[in-house]
Each structure stands twice: as structure tokens, then as C-alpha cells.
Amino acid sequence: MKKKDRPSAVDSGPCGPSVDRRMSAKNTAFRAVERNGEAIAKVGDSIFYFAELGMQEIETSRLLVGVLRDIGYRVEEGISGFPTGFLASYGSGHPVIAVHVEYDALPSGSQTPGVVERRELAPGAPGHAEGHNTNPAVMVGAAYGIKEAIDRHRLSGTVKLFGSPAEEQLVSRSFFVRDGHFEGVDAALHVHIGDELSVVHGIRSSALISVEYEFFGKTAHAGNNPWTGISAADAAKLMDIGWDVLREHLPPTQRSHSVIKDGGVQPNVVPDYARIWWYFREASAKGAADLFRRARKMARGACLMTGATHRETVVAACWPNWDNRILAEVVQANIELVGMPRWSEEDQALARRVQKAAGLRETGLRTEVTPLMQARQAGGSCDSGDITYVVPHARIIFPANIAGTEAHHWSAGIAPATPIAHKGEVTGAKVLAGSMIDLMLEPRHLVGAKALFDKGLAEAGITYAPLLPPKTKPPVKLNREEMAKYRDRLKKHYLNAPIRFK
């Protein structure tokens, strides 16, 4: 750090910079977020209607890169070989605070926002049935706020904003970490849609290895001379059956699931090609690696039994998510400062109608922030896991959805482009910007977070190494054909609906 980059001595006593300086920087940031509320909502809503699947977030990343450049950020596109990934930076020197978000949609998740029954924008099309469209809106909102705070209050530090493709397939961020994009970062924050304003600390997800096995056999007439054929589909089935038998002898913390992506064309042709896609999950990275080793043997066994050959491709791999208590406390202080959005009667009425239709208690939208809590480790995964083992990390959940809706179900796509989402995005952006300002102006937070991080690794005896094999390339073709089927049909919906904020 250059000497002139440090906060001035007047501001820095033993307790860090004066509360006044932090509060006035936050006020600047919050005002900038509010002033840009319409622009923030427009980002979130535009991405909702783009409804792009992982690795195919072409319009989405183009929009985000353009907006961030307009705000004044330096943007590097295509990082780690991800055509729809980017890194936007602002400021200089330390501390370096990273923010990362995903923005991919889900297959068959299409839904008209604000409508309390299934109404797809285009039949069968992808859609934001988890509201990932709102995550980058929050990041952009904070980008407005923190930039203005840095400029006006001469804050020292660098903000790095990562656009992270294909979260639903757990892909990009392990590659970013493997390729060194988080070296020199002091703290990292994730923002994600939810139905509350909250943060937790501790381990909250599972490690995962995503692997495709392709089996190759030999076609034959299945009626006349099946004995000359080798069925690739049989090999895929035997791998599946083998794994199901093994499950009894695996620890209860494992979760593994597969889909057969290709299994032959028609019954009278012995299939010469089959493809099965597996997710192997465990509580620890080591556990996931162990499952993968056993799966390899299973694939080889299936080939021995059938005479098929096979090829293995790792699509993605990630560590569990481990959130830092000190960072979570900083975020929580900002959650309490910002508070929940002020919902209108219309927002509450929509929430209650959605809950009623789903057979849930009609509690409406939450009006209180959630207290800081210890995480419970869940069976799901997120590719941000690797980040959390190289740098202290926390995740902000912001309230842009309705309590009770299930992510990945179309009903979770009702709220994310309505005034509920717009208010939640502004709230999330303020919490994110406020947290970044605290980390920039109060060095003790980062010192404490790093000490806790080091202690946690030492106590658990963990040395981080990527689960992702070193030469794995980004799966750039993922979802390409699927997205191509719907892109034109979705185009006519691109932000046709006017943005409503109130």
C-alpha cells in the first residue's frame, strides 16, 4: 500500500477511523444506490426476460459489462476462458474486496412475473425460477454506491466484481480460483436472492464433483444379430445399478445423483453411444474426491462387463461453502442499519396470493431482518465454495422473493421482476456497499477475519487444493443447443413490461 493511499492519521485512532467518516461514506453510497434505483431494477428485469441458461448468458453479460463500463469500471471480459464471465474493477491498492454473483436461468423455468398461476413466457423455455436475475442487479447497485463513496471520500482499496456463469451447473468460480483471480483478494462477498435479509457463518453446503461418462459400443440389428453388438447403454445402466448397490456402504453425508443424457435411438438398434452425467457430493472436499475415485472404478467395471469403452469428463468441481464469522458480523451490522424494504400493500397482497395458491400459511413478506446465525450444512452446493477456502468470505441473502416458494419451481419466478424484487435489490445493494465500506475503513475487521480463517484451516487440518483437475477446460458448449431452441421466442418478451418500482 502506498503511503498516500492510507486513511489519514486524523481519522485513524486505535479504534479505527471515526464513525463519522464511515457513516458519511455510507450515506454517499446509499444515496447513489437510491438515485439509481430505476437503473438497478432495469438490470434485474432485463436479465429476467433474457432467461439465459448457464454458459449461454450472452445478452446478460453484454448488458452487465456495458453498464459497469458506463459507471466507470475497468472490465476484463472472458476471464478463465468463460465467454460470459467477466471481472470489473474500480479503485486502487489494498484492501481488495471481491464480489461475485451468478445470473443463469433454469431449464423449463419460464414464468410471467406477477402472475399467480403457471404462465410461461414461451412454452418449455428456460426462466429465472430461482431469481438469479436479481443477483447482478444488487452487484450493479453496490457498484454505483461504492464508486461514489471511493471518489468522494478518497477511500483506499480496490473493488473486484466477478460475473460468474453457470452456477446451476456449479461451474465457473472454481476455475476463477484455480486460475489465480482471487490472489491478493482480502475478502470476498457473495449476494444471492432469498426471502429474507440475512447472513450466516460456518459451513453451509457440500463439496461436489460433476462428471460425465460417455460409453462407446458397437451397433447391430437388435433382432437379427444382437450378439455382434456392444451396448453402450448397458454400460451406462450397469454403472448406475452398481452405484445404487454401493450407496448402502457410503456415509450418510453423501448425495449422488445422475441423469442419462443419451441412451440410444430406438430399440432395434444396439446403442453404440450412451452418456450418463453424475453429481457426486459429500460434506468435505476429501469425501467428494473419494466418491469420484469409486465412480471411476464403477465405470471401468461397467466396461469390463459389456465390452464397451468409455471417456470421463469432469464438468465442474467445487468445495463446500465456509463463511467467516467476523465478515458475517460486519454484514449483519449493515443488515441492521439498512433494515427490510418498506413493502406496499400490493406487494404483501401478491405474496399472500402466491402463498395461498401453494397451500402455505399466508404470512406475506417478512418485515424483520434475520438475526445472525450459525449455518447448517446442507446437501446442495455452489461453485463459490473454492473462494471460501482461499479468502475469508460471507454471503448476503437479500429479500427479493416470497417466503415459502421453492427455488427451481416456477412459482419462485413470480416475484423476481416485480416491485418486490426492485425493493429487495436496492436493499441488498446498500447492505453490500455498506459492508464494503466497513471493510475498507476498518482494517481490524480484515485482520480478525484472516486470523479466524487461518485458525479454522489449521484446526481442521485443511490445505486447500482445487478439486478441479488442472487441465479441465470450461464447458463452453453446455446448454448451447437447448438455449438456441428458445432464444428467438424469448426475444419478443425482452423488457416489454414497464419497470414498476412502487
Q: Which parts of this chain interact with Zn ion (CB under 5 A)? A: 130
Q: Which is nearer to Zn ion, 386 or 442 (CB)?
A: 386
Residue 501, exposed/middle/buried by CB under 10 A (0-12, 13-18, 19+)? exposed
Tell the smallest beta-carbon distance from residue 325 to Zn ion (Å).
23
Any idea which residue has 444379430 for its cell? 225
Q: What single letter denotes the amino acid at residue 458?
A: A
Residue entry with cell 410471467: 112
Please state the closest distance from residue 75 (CB atom) to Zn ion, in A: 23
Q: 101 to each of 52, 339, 368, how far by Cα in Å?
A: 15, 22, 25
**Gyration radius of the chain's alpha carbons:** 24
∠ CA 495-409-132, nearest 5°, is 45
Nine cell digits for residue 186: 482480502
Which cell is 51 given? 432467461
Contact between 66 and 166 (Cβ < 8 Å): no
Cα gap 433→454, rounded to integer Å: 26
Q: How far apart are CA 79 and CA 83, in angstroms?
A: 7
- Closer to Zn ion by CB, 36 or 135: give it: 135
The distance of closest approach from Cβ of residue 380 to Zn ion in the complex, given in angstroms and rounded to an integer, is 9
Q: Looking at beta carbons only, is 130 or 442 nearer to Zn ion?
A: 130
CB of 157 to Zn ion, least distance (A): 28
Residue 28 or 135 having the CB closest to Zn ion: 135
In whole angstroms, the minimum distance from the beta carbon of 185 to Zn ion comes to 22
Residue 83 Cα distances to 58, 87, 93, 474, 500, angstroms? 8, 12, 28, 9, 32
Least distance from Zn ion to the Cβ atom of residue 199, Å: 16
Q: Select 57 or 130, whichever has its Cβ closest to Zn ion.
A: 130
Q: Which is nearer to Zn ion, 158 or 384 (CB)?
A: 384
Orientation angle between helical segments 419-441 and 443-460, nearest 10 degrees: 90
Least distance CB 133 / Zn ion (angstroms): 11
Q: Which is nearer to Zn ion, 130 or 347 (CB)?
A: 130
